[in-house]
């Protein structure tokens, strides 16, 4: 069976009841799915296939925090772009998936973008054998020293997009958008918030915010892309690129804002807590100035995984 919608459910709602162990081999990895594995009654192994080619220190530190006795994260010596998933009962494989979806929110929560195919029962031991080849070349992440190459660091720094948290036309925070989206005359909650994406961000940082994909179920609509953020204090947040704005003189459309997902107020609650103001209260430019900054720096760690810096 081929799957191209609701891929996240395959791992966290419809996995085999008799499974005792789970192995994920993924070119890139996200943080939210690994966090969610901790809530399942399974011993898990996550193999970060392209870690050797993508030695990001920030991501390494996050993975170290998630690494545990029942949820082990591995870095293989054999660089691997494969996406293979296997559930076992003891040493016996009972279900397998292969395809294009990385083990990340970006890979598993964006319908139509990726596919996963169920492996035939008579091929499960073949899949197990292949995964073991990669795993046998790997080390647990807490035994590996990660040094980010200088040239990668320089490139990473050039991709930092500084996104202001106020309306540049008024010099004040928005009345019913941005950090104060919850005050809009719409179906919103008091702490709903977002970060507006301006056309200048898209022009200056073309690799940071990908164009929206058309929705095959609605010809006029577009798909909202789910991504993950790591904040400067280590907080992990799942977000979504929402809204739509056309690129002038082009058929492409790009997102208009970044909002936490599935609850838009996760972001607003987090920001108010960092600013030290009560929940439900309007955020003013003065609150940002008193905190020490009125912008957030956004950069890309790897595909679908971003870094948010709101440090003073």
268-to-153, 168, 217, 247, 312 alpha-carbon distances in Å: 30, 20, 31, 28, 18
Residue holding tokens 């989206």? 181
Residue-level pLDDT at 151: 44
Given a contact cutoff of 8 angstroms between Cβ atoms, the answer to whether 207 and 195 are in contact is: no
Residue-level pLDDT at 303: 86
Helices (H), 56-120: 57-66, 105-108
Residue-level pLDDT at 206: 82
**Residue ranges covered by each domain of the chain:** 2-149, 159-309
Beta-carbon contacts of 190 under 8 Å, excluding residues fewer than 6 positions away, are 182, 183, 265, 268, 279, 280
One CATH from 3.40.50.300, 3.30.460.10, 3.30.1330.10, 3.30.870.10 for 2-149: 3.30.870.10
Residue-level pLDDT at 159: 74
CA dist 292 and 287 (Å) reads 9
Beta-carbon contacts of 147 under 8 Å, excluding residues fewer than 6 positions away, are 55, 57
Residue holding tokens 């995964």? 131
By C-alpha distance, which of 306, 300, 303, 304 is closest to 267? 306
Q: What tens-digit pLDDT sequence spans the chain (312 residues)?
A: 999 999 999 999 988 999 999 999 999 999 999 999 999 999 999 999 999 988 889 899 999 999 999 999 999 999 999 999 999 999 999 999 999 999 999 999 999 999 999 999 999 999 999 999 999 999 999 999 998 755 444 444 457 899 999 999 999 999 999 999 999 988 899 999 999 999 999 988 888 888 888 888 877 778 889 999 999 999 999 999 999 998 888 888 899 999 999 999 999 999 999 999 999 999 999 999 999 999 999 999 988 999 999 999
What is the enclosing helix (H) or strand (E) of 124?
helix 124-136
């Amino acid at each position: 069976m081929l799957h191209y919608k609701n891929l996240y459910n395959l791992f966290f709602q419809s996995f085999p009841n008799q499974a005792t162990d789970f192995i994920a081999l993924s070119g890139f990895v996200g943080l939210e799915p690994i966090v969610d594995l901790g809530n399942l009654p399974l011993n898990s192994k996550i193999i970060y296939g392209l870690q050797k080619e993508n030695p990001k220190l920030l991501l390494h530190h996050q993975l170290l925090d998630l690494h545990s006795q029942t949820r082990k994260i591995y870095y293989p010596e054999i660089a691997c772009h494969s996406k293979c998933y296997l559930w076992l009962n003891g040493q016996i494989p009972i279900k397998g998936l292969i395809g294009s979806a990385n083990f990340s929110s970006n890979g598993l929560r964006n319908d139509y973008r990726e596919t996963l195919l169920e492996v035939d029962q008579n091929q499960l031991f073949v899949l197990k054998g292949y995964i073991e080849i990669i795993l046998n070349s790997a080390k647990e992440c807490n035994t590996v020293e990660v040094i980010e190459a200088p040239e990668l660091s320089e490139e990473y720094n050039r991709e930092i997009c500084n996104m202001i948290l106020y309306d540049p036309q008024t010099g004040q925070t928005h009345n019913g958008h941005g950090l104060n989206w919850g005050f809009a005359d719409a179906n919103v909650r008091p702490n709903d918030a977002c970060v507006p994406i301006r056309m200048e961000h898209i022009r200056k940082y073309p690799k940071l915010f990908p164009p929206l994909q058309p929705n095959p179920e609605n010809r006029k609509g577009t798909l909202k892309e789910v991504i993950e953020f790591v904040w400067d204090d280590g907080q992990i947040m799942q977000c979504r690129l929402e809204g739509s704005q056309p690129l002038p003189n082009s058929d492409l459309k790009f997102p208009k804002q970044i909002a936490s997902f599935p609850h838009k107020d996760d972001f607003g609650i987090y920001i108010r807590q960092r600013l030290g103001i009560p929940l439900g209260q309007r955020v003013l430019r003065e609150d940002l100035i008193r905190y020490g900054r009125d912008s957030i720096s956004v950069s890309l760690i790897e595909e679908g995984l971003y870094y948010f810096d709101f440090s003073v």
